[in-house]
Amino acid sequence: MKNKFIFLIIALAATAIAHNAAGQSPSKNPIDTTLESKRKVIDSIDKQLFEVLGARERVVREIGVYKAQHHIAPLQAARFQKVLERGIEAGKKEGLSAEFVTELLNAIHKESLRIEEGIRP
């Protein structure tokens, strides 16, 4: 299940792209129209999700530069543990399982470390 979140995001993006490329229009069936309407909301939220993740990773780059300049290792395990704990608590309030939040934050953290390590000389 470690990569399921990443697969889900990719699948959602691919579905949105394929739908837009096919030029499909909503069906006349009220159920299909409702479903299509809800899918458009999801597509919009997914777009926002990637924008937020992009903004986060831009800050990660800034932190990576600072860490490189001050000879600080990219991995700060105690900091990540705090991020994870806060994330699990915030996720609970949104009805998300601790397992999902942990996998999500691990994937984000892995990408953040990749970015920071790429900055090092």
Query: Model confidence over 6-28: pLDDT tens digits?
Result: 655 665 555 556 555 555 554 56
Query: pTM score, two decimals?
Result: 0.71
**Helix or strand or coil: residue 25?**
coil
Concatenated DSSP letters of 89-102: HHHHHTT--HHHHH
For the beta carbon of residue 84, count every other beta carbon within 10 angstroms.
16
| Measured distance CA(70)–CA(101) in Å, rounded | 31
With a CB cutoff of 8 Å and minimum separation 6, the contacts of 40 are: none
pLDDT in tens, 42-52: 999 999 999 99
Q: For 67-78, what is each residue's pLDDT tens digit?
A: 999 999 999 999
- Three-class SS state of 19: helix
What pLDDT is stored for residue 2 in this prediction?
56
More confident residue, 95 or 7: 95
74 near 64, Cβ under 8 Å? yes
pLDDT tens-digit map of 53-65: 999 999 999 999 9
